[in-house]
Each structure stands twice: as structure tokens, then as C-alpha cells.
Amino acid sequence: MTPLLVVGDSLLDRDVDGRVERLAPDAPVPVVDQPADRVRPGGAALAALLAARDGRRVTFVTALGPDDAGRTVAELLAGAGVSVLDVGADGPTGQKVRVRAAGTPVVRLDHGGARDLVAAPDGTVLEAVRAARTVLVADYGRGVTSQPQLRAAVGEVADAGGRVVWDPHPRGPDPVPRTRLVTPNLAEMRRVTGVDAAGLAAIADAAVALGRRWETAGVAVTLGEQGAVLVGADGTPLMVPAPAVHGRHDACGAGDRFAVGVAGAIADGALLSEAVVGGVRAATAFVAAGGAGGPDVMGEANGDPPPAPTSPRCAEDVVTAVRARGGTVVATGGCFDLLHAGHVRLLADARALGDCLVVCLNSDASVRRLKGPGRPVVGEVDRQAVLLALAAVDAVVVFDEDTPERALTELRPDLWVKGADYAVADLPEAELLAHWGGRAVVLPYLDGRSTSAMIRKAEHHVRHVAERGSITPVDRLRRTGI
């Protein structure tokens, strides 16, 4: 991997996690019992850490205060293999403290001034910046990116054709001219431009104006769980949707994960469009794995793929949340190979019976045993993706057995739904559900819809067209629309 130089403001982030079971007797505020304190690098220091976790050689130019918090940030980064070039700050290192109950923030406490007095960098620091081919500027508005000599050195990299990615902050300076990509979030872009952009066209227009103002090749506006919009000089927007993340999640640090993913891809020679697609995927993976407050940030690589959004763990999160508010958990199962209108109707009707719907999906091996060697037509990864795209489906669990009994035992749904070609008495799962007070329910199918019928019709079309002339197999498929 190509090395990366990160420039920006450091913070020390702390999560104080406990449990809440009562209110304080002297005020209507929660009492957080048995808190456990975890620390990690924050601000641009988190970006440097994530880049190192990706396997890159990372140099980090920052300003740390002469205090315990600054020393802790330096030690954590050194332990992750980051080379820290500290220019020094005249003041305490900023700290963000999140007090959480069962992973949910209760209050945030900020320590340290809003802006640091950053010392002038020495020649070693400036030479390191000028020698970099790819620079990520992670601005947190505390003064590092406003330091004139550092800013000039980054500008020299951009002027020389180097790759500069700038993640801006409303309190920070404008990016240097000729930056390769700027990555504001929607709120930041609105504050900078003064345009309350909403909708893809308005966001794209505001991004074009921002790109011209900042003389940058591209602007990627991040939209949280919706993904990101990339706009280049021609003004054509590329919308990059984010994959769905099911269950509870912590988005803290997602912007840094996106910026690092983008900068790393650009460092390795990717086009801006390819880099933004990779950045969105990396940020989604990061959020799915728990975000900056997750257990793996200081240990395992955050660039790895996330737990599949269809994994039992995510389904259990959905079920737990529904049960916590007294809701009804509904489950159904099947192969769902070549999804058709009958499937969609069944799933919508099943979801209407409760407060969430979990689909137990036969794996490819399970489908082959049940349907024969020619099935499934669509692999399990794509079948999962199609099901999760439906509004009726909250989670999917894949099982390898011939029946979903093991998955049901783990999920313990209140209702188990199957189509009308079953009688309740014939459902093998009915007796299992009775063990925890669940019920089996049968819903009507939409007549005339089946995967087998769709396959037979497709085969008939191919044969019919082939009999009318000598054409290639590819032409057969193209002419029949299959």
C-alpha cells in the first residue's frame, strides 16, 4: 500500500460505559452504575489510526498539548505503528467524553479550548510534508490546518501534482487550491455555502459552486446513512448509496473512516469515483462493526468487511430492540430464488402481523438439496441483498440445514409465517414454536406465481427463439430479455 501523510488536530476520546437502572433521588437524571472507561485517539488522530489499521505506513503531523491526554494520544498512535510528528500546542489537548448506558450516549463532556495555539513546525516536519505524495488533511478547527507554514507545505504538494484530500471543518480555513478532493458532510457544506440544499440536484449545484470557490477537482458530500454524492468539474453528480446497516449502530467516526478510505484509494491510483465508492463501503463497514466506540477500533483492522448485515447477530439486535418495547417478532423462511410477486406479497403480509420480520433463508447448499442440482438460480449473497432491499424485511438469517429449526430456536419468534400451500398442522416448526409460546400462521399465496414456473417460461422462450433461426446462446438470451 502507498504511504499516507495525515495532517490535523488531535483529541483524546473517552467512552464511559455503564448501566442505568434508576434515576437520581435529587434530580430526574439517570444514574450510570459501574462505569468502565475506554480511551482512543480522536479527531485527526483517529484518521491516522484507521489508516494504520488498513496496513498503511502513516506519518501524522499534529499538535499535542504538554499534558497526560496528549501523551496518551501519542502512546496509542505509536502502539499502532503511526509515526507522530508533534509540532506542539500551547494549551491542553482537547478531550471528548461520552457517558453511555448500554451503548447509548447519555451526555457528552468536552475539555480543552476550542482552538489551540500551534507552534511553528521545524524543518523536519515541513520536509516530511513536502515529500509526501498523498496527504489527508483532517481539520477539526483547532488550529493545525491554519498554521501558515504547514498550510504552505500542503499547498506545495498540491501544486506539484500530489494527491491532497481535505476533510474540512466550519471553524477551519478553506482547503488549499488544487486539492484533489474535498469531503464535507451536508451540514458543513450548508454552513460554508449558506445554501440550505436539499435533494440531489440542489446538493450537486451547491457542491459545484463550492468546488469552484475552493479550486478543487471534486467535492464528495457525505450524507450519513444515505451515502455520498460526488460532483466533479462538469457538475454531473454521482450518487453512491450506502449499504443498509441493520440494528443499532454508532456513527461516531464514520466521517474519518470515509476520508481515510477515499484518501487511501486515491493514494493507490483509484479514480475519484472509485475512491468514493470504496470510502462509502469502508464507512458502512466501520459503522456496522460498532463505530469509533466499538470494541475493535484499538485492536483489529477496521478496513475488513463488516459483519454481514444479514448475520444472526444483526437479526438478534433487531429482535432484542423489538422485544424491549413490547413488540411482536415475526419470522418466515424459504429459498426465495428468483423473487416474484407472490414472495413480495407474502413478506408484506407477514410484516403486517408484527413489529419486525426476520427471513430465514436457505443457503445455496440447502437449496440444492431441496430443489436439485440446477438450483438456486440466484446465489445466497444476492438473494440476501434483494430481500433486505424490501421495506417489509428487517433482517435475514442464512441457514445450511434442510429446515430452519436451529435458527428459530436462537431467534424464538412470536409468529412463524408460511404460504398457503401448507396447513398449520403440517408445519414441522409448529411444535417447536410451542416450546416458547410462539404460533405458526399460514397466509394465502398469490395464485399462479412460482419460481419453477418462471424458470420453465424462460426455458420455453429460449427454445422458441432458437427454433426460429440459428443464433448464439448469448443472442438467445438478449432477444428474449432473460
At 101 the pLDDT is 81
Confidence of residue 298 (pLDDT cuts 50, 70, 90): low
User: Is the model more confident about 194 or about 441?
Assistant: 441
| pLDDT of 159 | 93
Mark whether 90 is an active-site residue: no
Of 344-348, 374-378, 401-405, minimum mean pLDDT range? 374-378
Q: What does the pLDDT read at residue 183?
A: 94
The band of 338, judged by pLDDT with boundaries at 50, 70 and 90, is confident
Q: What is the pLDDT of residues 81-98, one digit of tens each?
A: 999 999 988 888 888 888
Determine contact, residues 335/362, Cβ cutoff 8 Å: yes
Question: Highest mean pLDDT range out of 99-108, 161-170, 236-245, 369-378?
Answer: 161-170
At 156, is the pLDDT very low, low, confident or very high (cuts 50, 70, 90)? Answer: very high
pTM beyond cutoff 0.95: no
Work out the pLDDT band at 299, boundaries 50, 70, 90: low
Please name the CATH architecture into which domain 4-293 falls.
Answer: 3-Layer(aba) Sandwich (3.40)
Asked if pLDDT for residue 327 goes beyond 50, the answer is yes
The domain 312-449 having CATH identifier 3.40.50.620: the answer here is yes
From-to residues of CATH 3.40.1190.20 in the chain: 4-293
Question: What are the DSSP calls for 166-226, one per residue?
Answer: EE--TTSPPPPTT-SEE--BHHHHHHHH-----SHHHHHHHHHHHHHHHT-SEEEEE-GGG
Whether residue 333 is predicted with pLDDT greater than 70 in this model: the reply is yes
Please answer whether residues 178 and 159 qualify as being in contact, where contact means their C-beta atoms are separated by less than 8 angstroms. Answer: yes
Q: Which of 300, 302, 325, 331 is nearest to 408 (CA)?
A: 331
Instruction: Read off the pLDDT of residues 213-269 as tens digits, 9 standing for 90 and up.
Output: 999 999 999 998 888 999 887 777 888 888 776 656 778 888 999 999 999 999 999
Q: Which residue has the higher pLDDT, 331 or 466?
A: 331
For the stretch 188-201, pLDDT in tens is: 888 887 777 777 78
- Average pLDDT, stretch 279-290? 86
Mean local confidence (pLDDT), 270-288? 89
Q: What is the mean pLDDT of residues 382-386?
A: 90
The number of residues in the chain equals 482
Does the structure show a pLDDT above 90 at 1?
Answer: no
What is the model's pLDDT at position 303? 40
Split at pLDDT 50, 70, 90, the class of 440 is: confident
Residue entry with cell 426476520: 358
Residue 481 pLDDT: 47
d(CA 260, CA 282): 9
Task: Check residue 307 and give its pLDDT.
Answer: 41
Q: For 143, which DSSP code?
A: S
On whether the CB atoms of residues 51 and 22 are closer than 8 A, the answer is: no
C-alpha cell at 450: 412460482
For residue range 23-79, what is the model confidence (pLDDT) as tens digits?
888 888 888 887 778 888 999 999 999 999 999 999 999 999 888 999 999 999 999
Residue 463 has pLDDT above 70, yes or no: no
DSSP code at position 146: G
Q: Considering the candidates 116, 256, 355, 364, report the single residue annotated as catalytic.
A: 256
Beta pairing partners, 101:
18, 104
Residue intervals of the chain classified under CATH 3.40.50.620 are: 312-449
Given a cut of 50, whether residue 441 has pLDDT beyond it is: yes
207: which 3 cell numbers?
Answer: 457542491
Confidence of residue 419 (pLDDT cuts 50, 70, 90): confident
